[in-house]
Structure 1
Amino acid sequence: MEWRKCYLDMMLVPTALMITMAYHAWLWNKVRTQPFTTIIGTNASGRRFWVSAMMKDNDKKNILAVQTLRNTIMGSTLMATTSILLCAGLAAIISSTYSVKKPLNDTIYGAHGELMIALKYVTLLLIFLFSFLGHSLSIRFMNQVTFLVNTPQDPSSIVTPEYVSELLERGFILNAVGNRLFYAALPLLLWIFGPVMVFLCSVAMVPVLYNLDFVSSSGKQKVADKIGSDASTLV
């Protein structure tokens, strides 16, 4: 009868993952096509201007640039440390026979066999490992930017504000990927208690992420007015 109990796991968990993946695919398309309607695109544009301003007036703003990047690196370091600690905890649970591996299978739907329990913990372990990888690579790019943003401007130098901005954006993209993987682990963490919780949590996360990822209606109107004024200026 165990294989019948996994029907809900086979239906709800992939559906929940598809909902999350579909939302982020749509978000990525919006960032590529309409960047100023999203927080990600708006912040990316602001960071490009920031890099240009820091490198243009480097003698006065070099300390400000380093301190700002240091704070960003500290945030990525915290998330990377949290991810690897959770990985260590999950690895300890997988390798042990402690009773915490047994979920509350008396009141929750879904399969709770040994194979399913191992699949749940291994999936969580992989998600946190990839989150750690994203944050680690983000720290690498941020450290490079910390040095290059203070490079003296030389017409013959290949270290231009555009190059530094590209490195900075790669770091922030990897940081965002690490954060999103960390967020995706929350519904999967509830999979320990059953697939229904995974589905409900994934559905609830979509409107929350939407409000965090997209600018408000007033912000969209300001963007539209700016684009219209730029168009009229060109004419």
Structure 2
Amino acid sequence: MDWEKSYLDIVLVPLGLMVTIAYNVWLWHKVRTQPLRTIIGRNAAGRRLWVSAMMKDNDKKNILAVQTIRNTIMGSTLMATTSILLCSGLAAIISSTYSVKKPLNDSVLGAHGEFMVSLKYVTLLLIFLFSFMCLSLSIRFTGQVNFLINSPQDSIVTPDYVSELLEKGFTLNIVGNRLVYAALPLLLWIFGPVMVFLCSVTMVPILYNLDFVFVSGRDGLRGKVDGDGNKELV
């Protein structure tokens, strides 16, 4: 009887998670091997050029650099605040004696026991906690860049070092946001494992269109330049 109630959770939820993990691993491989084919790779290359330009003409562009980095920190702060608020809400639900799942027991598929309900909320809590940690570290690295980007060119702080710190901050920001994206299907686990699998599968083509640069056929010359650039950046 227990198996009949929980087999959908055992099959569909891990399968949905594997779809999300497989896509992100493939995306990471593309960023490493063909960076200019991805939004992440192109933005990283642009940020390296931006840091070099800001530090080269620091007297005229220092305010622009600080304002740009400040806006980036505000975005990370918003996501980190959202993650910790969701953690607080989930912690309150877990510690509450009232079962928020009772009104849904007769209308959704999957297991409805106390263990399964606790597993759902604890899993979400851990994901949002890791997301908060990554976003907090991102704010730390980006804040350091806010100071160092105005350093003189002839100091020990070089544009390459500042670019490396900025990339660490953005990488942690991307990881934190991706964890939030992965938690969205799991939020639907409250309504059953079928929703988790359908949401995970639906998110892959959406993220694909947001993560990759599409070059039309008439841009053949630009495609050749991209190929050369990829080889240089690998």
Q: Identify whether the pair has TM-score above 0.5, normalized to the shorter chain.
A: yes
Deviation of the 1:229 alpha carbon:
8.2
1: CA distance, partners of 2:111 / 2:160: 53
1:139-190 alpha-carbon deviations (Å, 9 max, x no partner): 0000000000000111xx3311011000000000000000000011110000
* 2:42 is aligned with 1:42: yes
CA contact (8 A) 2:37 2:226 kept: no
Matching residue of 1:96: 96
Q: 1:202 maps to which residue? A: 200
User: 1:36 Cα shift?
Assistant: 0.4
Asked whether the equivalents of residues 38 and 215 of structure 1 are also in contact (C-alpha less than 8 Å), the reply is: yes
Q: 1:163 — aligned with what?
A: 161
TM-score (normalizing by structure 2):
0.93
Question: What do you get for the CA RMSD once the two structures are aligned?
Answer: 1.6
Alignment of 1:166-205 (within 5 A): 166-205=164-203
Per the TM alignment, residue 68 of structure 1 is displaced from its structure 2 partner at its CA by 0.1
How many residues end up aligned between the 2 structures?
Answer: 228
Determine if contact 1:134/1:177 at 8 Å carries over to the other structure: yes
Identity %: 77
User: Aligned AA for 1:104?
Assistant: L
Tell me by how many angstroms 1:217 deviates: 2.6
Q: TM-score, normalised by structure 1?
A: 0.93
Question: What letter is aligned with 2:177?
Answer: N
Q: Which SS does the other structure have where 1:12 is aligned? A: helix
Q: Secondary structure at the match of 2:104?
A: coil
CA distance in 1, matches of 2:79, 2:190: 23
Matches within 5 A, 1:134-149: 134-149=134-149
Partners of 1:229 and 1:124 in 2: CA distance: 42
Q: Determine if contact 1:86/1:128 at 8 Å carries over to the other structure.
A: yes
Gaps of 5+ in 2: 230-234
Q: Look up the match of 2:232.
A: none
Q: Which residue of 2 aligns with 1:224?
A: 223
Q: Which amino acid aligns with 1:98?
A: Y
What is the letter of the counterpart of residue 175 of structure 2? V
When structure 1 is superposed on structure 2, of 26-35 and 100-109 the one drifting more is 100-109
In the TM superposition, residue 101 of structure 1 has moved relative to its aligned partner by 3.7
**Whole-angstrom distance in 2 between the partners of 1:228 and 1:178:** 30
Report the CA distance shift for 1:53/1:206 in structure 2 as closer, same or farther (over 3 A): same
- State whether residues 54 and 61 of structure 1, in contact with CA within 8 Å, keep that contact through their aligned partners in structure 2: yes
Q: Which runs of 5 or more structure 1 residues have no equivalent in the other structure?
A: 231-235
Structure 1 Cα separation of the partners of residues 228 and 14 of structure 2: 46
Which residue of structure 1 lines up, in the alignment, with residue 6 of structure 2? 6
| Partner Cα separation in structure 2 for residue 181 and residue 227 of structure 1 | 30
Q: Which has the higher contact order (CA 8 A, sep 6+)?
A: 2
Alignment partners' CA distance in 1, 2:149 and 2:116: 49
Amino acid at match of 2:152: P
CA distance in 1 between counterparts of 2:179 and 2:212 reads 19
One-letter amino acid of the structure 1 residue matched with residue 174 of structure 2: A
> Hey, what's the Cα distance between the residues in 2 that align with 1:64 and 1:103?
53
Task: Give the match for residue 66 of structure 2.
Answer: 66
1:119/1:227 Cα in 2 relative to 1: closer, same or farther (>3 Å)? Answer: closer
Matched residue type, 1:192: I
Counterpart secondary structure, 1:23: helix
Provide the secondary structure at the position in 2 that maps to 1:159. Answer: coil
Shift of 1:3: 3.3
